[in-house]
Amino acid sequence: MPPPAENGHELSSAPPISPFLERIGAGVSTWDKDLRLVAWNRAFRDLLVLPDIVLKVGASLAEIVDGGAPGFGDRPDGQQIESLGRKRLAADRRFTFDRRFADGRCVSLTFAPFAPDGWIVVCHAVTRGEIEENQNELQRQNARLDAALDSMPGGFSIWDDDLRLVLFNSRYAEIYGMPRDQLRVGMSLLDICELTVAVGNHPGVMPDELFRRYRDRLRQNMDPAITRRYEKAIRRRTIRSSYTRDPRLGWVVTHEDITDDIRRIEELGAREAALAQQNMRLDAAVNNISQGLCMFDADRRLVICNRNYATLYGLPAELVRPGTHLADILKHRIANGVPPLGDKQAYLQRRLDVVAAGKPEIDTVELRDGRVISIRHLPTADGGWVATHEDVTEQHGDELRIRHLARHDPLTDLPNRLVFRESMTAAEDGIADGRTFAVLAIDLDRFKSVNDTLGHAVGDAVLKMVADRLKAAVRDSDVAARLGGDEFAILSSALAHPEDAAVLAERIVRQIGEPFVYDGHNIEIGASIGIAVAPGDGRNADTLLKNADLALYRAKTEGRGAYHFFEQDMDAALQRRRVLETGLRQAIARNELRLVFQPVFNLADNRVSGLEALVRWYHPERGTISPAEFIPIAERSGLIIPIGEWVLRQACAAAASWPDDITVSVNLSAVQFRSRGLLQHVRSALQDSGLRPQRLELEVTESLLLAEVEFTLPTLHQLRGLGVRVSMDDFGTGYSSLSYLRSFPFDKVKIDQSFVRDLASGEGGRAIVSAVIGLGRSLGMSTTAEGVETEDQLDLVRDQGCTEVQGFLLSPPLPASAVDKLFAKATGTHEWTRTLARRSGATRRLPN
């Protein structure tokens, strides 16, 4: 501020030029709160070219402005500047404005608050370069603003309080189809309404009506956003306009052409509706097909599935959602009680393999609960697949039953031979890994007689019960099968020791030996078992089964109700038996069988009372084969029936030519008793030969009376009824129970040669023989001592009271031709006549 001395201003009540302000390089003045001048410096006065007369403490801003140098162009008067200043100070507290002078100078003035209630004004000259720079900057800013406005996708306009256009962009004109060059800043809203009506945007609407509508909308602050469809307009557009009121700018209005968006939305809507309908139809179709249906994408994620699919596998809601991974569904299928039979891992792998293969496949899977599911897998072009899952339990029921029947014995439901062999083949694979297993061949003892005496229904029931006991006796890993008839087999795998097989066999023998109670019958049968252990006794099914059979054969011949392990020499014996059996089948036809007859002598009169027919087999290569060797083979193979019948016929025919008081004895096998034809065979042999039944004597052994009494006794009575005689042969072997003698009124009991041999050796043998003879006598039976080879034996049996003797001492078995001669010769010429006479002290004549 200039010092008073210098400006000489009397009015100044305070030093007008403040020394403090003078030190500031810029022009400075201070003002009170009413914008009245307080102090100034010289620079302030000079920059603004203010005459000292104007610069008075307490002068108003308006007075100062008006008293200063004339400004440039349309310079506002002091009053205007003051009111502007007041406004700006009230609002912004700090502002800058430039004051340009007519001579081109420009001064920038900055107003700022100044303690405590006043203002400070700082001013400095702006150079020409600065001005230009400022102008350029302004132009650049405007260009940037224009570019920014025009780059806006929407239309943009600003209206001041008088509803005049302040600012707009090209898009604004474009949207409404108004020519750009007809729009100017400062146009009134009414002008714009006239323009827009003129270009055809509002057919049938007057511009002033439109103007009122817009004006009211803005002034009354209604509908800040509005969407209008210019349906009937030349340009069919849909435009949304929104406005906001900015206190400094006025109304800022944006205009958006949303025609394309609307169309897109509408199209989308239509498409969605169509899709929804299609989905509904698809849903209905998918849910109404009887199969379970599912569709997966290439990532193995569920796209869609129907209700049946969920129901079929009991899938919870969260697993049938689109996007669920196949693995999760499979996991659920397996974990929740519906895994297929067999290996779960195998099932999982199979499903994954099918998916990976990407080929159409059809699988039939049996679930644990018995349902059978047919899965049809069909890959889709996008790398996913569609699969149908159908419950085909019903359809497959028959097929399954048939398949089951093909693999199981229908009576006992045990696996059959086929399954057994398959299991054995599977077990063979374990041999390489050092595993061992046993094959048990089981044959029931006395089962045939159950069938024959109690009927097949009872026989079947017994077989079922046997099957149940076998199932109970074996472990889960073992296979118990019925191979046919009364033949069973067990495959016992993973044995720790071969002895384990013996433990199992023993258990089975014991359990099958327990009586079976059925329909009021107490049925006692037994089991014989042969055991072959792999790999020692064979490495394949055929060998093992054959060897187990050999062992079984041994078990049977060594007394039933036993088990036997296979031994290597059994094989050779079997080979021999096989050869014999084959030869035996042709023996009758080839006329290789012959009968020989061994005389039996009556000790009362020392003469031949009868002859025992004994069969011989004259084998072309091996010579004479003893019946002791081939009869058991014939019994096992069933050949004993035709052979027995042949023997009966031959014996009766031969005896028919003998003297009428000579009997013929024929040995019968127990097996012949089991065949129903025996009675008929005997009857026809008698008829055809014309032999009196009383001259035929049938020899049976004790074993016949062991278990099959129910059946054999009636047959014996029927035979007796024919008039034939029945004798008990080989008494004393095996069982030697005197009670057998009471069970049937035998005509004769033949004491076995082993007893006769023992007679000489001690008192014990003699006591037994005398007991038998005594019992026989009391029961009205005659007794024959077999196998008498020495005179001592002859004497002893005679002393004991035996009725008849038979043995090499007196005569070996003779061929038929020799028998005829026997009767033709005079009695005295026979060696045996002399022997008997010498020993009995009496000589009798043989009848002719």
Which among 141-149, 675-683, 741-749, 800-808 is the span making contact with ligand C2E, rule CB under 6 A? 800-808
DSSP for 801-838, please give it. Answer: T-SEE-STTT---EEHHHHHHHHHS-GGGSHHHHHHHH
CA dist 139 and 133 (Å) reads 10
Site for ligand C2E in 43-102 (CB under 6 A): none
Residue 109 interacting entry, from ligand C2E, Mg ion, none, C-beta within 5 to 8 Å by type: none
Toward ligand C2E, which CB reaches closer, 531 or 648?
648
Q: Quick check: 600 binds ligand C2E (CB under 6 A)? A: no
Residue 631 interacting entry, from Mg ion, ligand C2E, none, C-beta within 5 to 8 Å by type: ligand C2E
User: Per-residue x/- mask for ligand C2E, residues 686 to 725, rule CB under 6 A?
Assistant: -------------x--------------------------
SS3 category, 715: helix
Q: Quick check: 415 binds ligand C2E (CB under 6 A)? A: no
* Distant-in-sequence, close-in-space partners of 27: CB < 8 Å, separation ≥ 6: 40, 41, 43, 44, 45, 46, 47, 48, 107, 122, 123, 124
Toward ligand C2E, which CB reaches closer, 570 or 719?
719
Q: Quick check: 192 binds ligand C2E (CB under 6 A)? A: no
Phi first, then psi, for residue 483 (nearest 5°) are -90, -15
Buried b (16+ CB within 10 A) or exposed e, 328-340: ebbebbbeeebbb
Q: Which residues pair with 96 in a beta bridge?
A: 110
Q: Quick check: 136 binds ligand C2E (CB under 6 A)? A: no
Buried b (16+ CB within 10 A) or exposed e, 158-191: bbeeebbbbbbbbbbbebbbbeeeebeeebebbb
Toward Mg ion, which CB reaches closer, 689 or 727?
727
Q: Quick check: 789 binds ligand C2E (CB under 6 A)? A: yes
What's the start-to-end Cα distance of the chain, in Å? Answer: 195
**Assigned token pair, 17:** 């030029």
Least Å distance, CB 755 to ligand C2E, is 12
Q: Which of 409, 452, 708, 730 binds ligand C2E (CB under 6 A)?
A: 730
Continuous segment of H or E residues that includes residue 585: helix 569-587
Q: What is the DSSP letter of 77?
A: P
Q: Quick check: 729 binds ligand C2E (CB under 6 A)? A: yes
Q: Which of 491, 631, 641, 655 binds ligand C2E (CB under 6 A)?
A: 631
Q: Which of 4, 561, 627, 801 binds ligand C2E (CB under 6 A)?
A: 627
Q: Is the dihedral of CA 421, 427, 432, 437 positive or negative?
A: negative
Q: Quick check: 645 binds ligand C2E (CB under 6 A)? A: no
DSSP for 256-301, please give it. Answer: EE-HHHHHHHHHHHHHHHHHHHHHHHHHHHHHHSSSEEEEE-TTSB
Toward ligand C2E, which CB reaches closer, 157 or 727?
727
* CB 700, CB 717: distance < 8 Å: no
Q: Quick check: 628 binds ligand C2E (CB under 6 A)? A: yes
Least Å distance, CB 642 to ligand C2E, is 12
CA dist 286 and 138 (Å) reads 70
Which among 31-39, 54-62, 803-811, 818-826 is the span making contact with ligand C2E, rule CB under 6 A? 803-811
Burial (Cβ within 10 Å: 0-12, 13-18, ≥19) of residue 752: buried
Q: Quick check: 306 binds ligand C2E (CB under 6 A)? A: no
Phi first, then psi, for residue 416 (nearest 5°) are -95, -170
Q: Which residues pair with 439 in a beta bridge?
A: 491, 532
* CB 92, CB 112: distance < 8 Å: no
Toward ligand C2E, which CB reaches closer, 294 or 647?
647
Q: Quick check: 615 binds ligand C2E (CB under 6 A)? A: yes
CA dist 514 and 526 (Å) reads 8
Least Å distance, CB 779 to ligand C2E, is 21
Continuous segment of H or E residues that includes residue 533: strand 526-534
Q: Which of 254, 324, 606, 753 binds ligand C2E (CB under 6 A)?
A: 753
Toward Mg ion, which CB reaches closer, 407 or 616?
616
Q: Quick check: 610 binds ligand C2E (CB under 6 A)? A: no
Q: Quick check: 667 binds ligand C2E (CB under 6 A)? A: yes
Toward ligand C2E, which CB reaches closer, 467 or 596?
596
Q: Quick check: 157 binds ligand C2E (CB under 6 A)? A: no
Toward Mg ion, which CB reaches closer, 509 or 759?
759
* CB 463, CB 395: distance < 8 Å: no
Please give the residue ranges that form the binding site for Mg ion (CB under 5 A): 667, 699, 729-730, 786
Least Å distance, CB 483 to ligand C2E, is 29
Which among 11-19, 336-344, 666-674, 763-771 is the span making contact with ligand C2E, rule CB under 6 A? 666-674
Q: Which of 614, 625, 773, 836 binds ligand C2E (CB under 6 A)?
A: 614
Toward ligand C2E, which CB reaches closer, 669 or 800?
669
C-alpha distance from residue 534 to each of 3, 435, 497, 541, 555 (Å): 136, 8, 11, 9, 19
Residue 459 interacting entry, from Mg ion, ligand C2E, none, C-beta within 5 to 8 Å by type: none
Q: Which residues of this chain interact with ligand C2E, rule CB under 6 A?
A: 598, 614-615, 626-628, 631, 647, 667-669, 699, 729-730, 753, 786-789, 806-808, 813
